[in-house]
Amino acid sequence: MPTADRKDAVAAFDAWQEVVALTRKMTESVHAGEIERMVELEGRRHRLLSQVFCNDKPRPPVDEIQQVMRMDAEIVRRAEALRGELLAKLNTLSSNRKALAAYGQFQQSGS
C-alpha cells in the first residue's frame, strides 16, 4: 500500500473512531437530558461523517456502521421522549395560566 493511501486509510479510521466516540457521548447526553450538548456533539460528528464517507476513502466495517445506526435510533427515541415530556409540561403551564386568567376574571366580575 503506497504511503499516501495508508495515510488516507489511517485518517479515515481515526475520523470513524471519533464518530463512534461522539455518538456514545451523544447517547450519554440525551439520557442526561442535555439536549444542547447533544446538538453540539452532532455538529462535530456531522463534519466527521462527511470525511469518513467520501467516495475516495475506505469504508468502516458494516457491523460498526450498524452499531452507530442503533445508537442513533436510541438517541432519536430518547430525544422524542424528552420532546414529549417538554410539550406536556408546556401544555400544563398553558392550562394553569388559562385557569389563573379565568379565576382573575371571575374575581373581577364579583366586585
- How far apart CA 35 and CA 37 sit, in angstroms, is 5
- How far apart CA 64 and CA 75 sit, in angstroms, is 17
- The CATH code of the domain at 3-110 is 1.20.58
Location of C-alpha cell 398553558:
94
- How far apart CA 48 and CA 6 sit, in angstroms, is 19
Residue 108: band (very low, low, confident or very high) from pLDDT cuts 50, 70, 90: confident
DSSP string for 19-33: HHHHHHHHHHHHHTT
pLDDT (0 to 100) of residue 2 = 46
Q: Where are the domains of the chain?
A: 3-110
Q: What angle do CA 64, 67, 69 make, to 5 degrees?
A: 110
Average pLDDT of the chain, as a whole number: 85
pLDDT tens, position by position, 1-26: 444 455 555 576 788 999 999 999 99
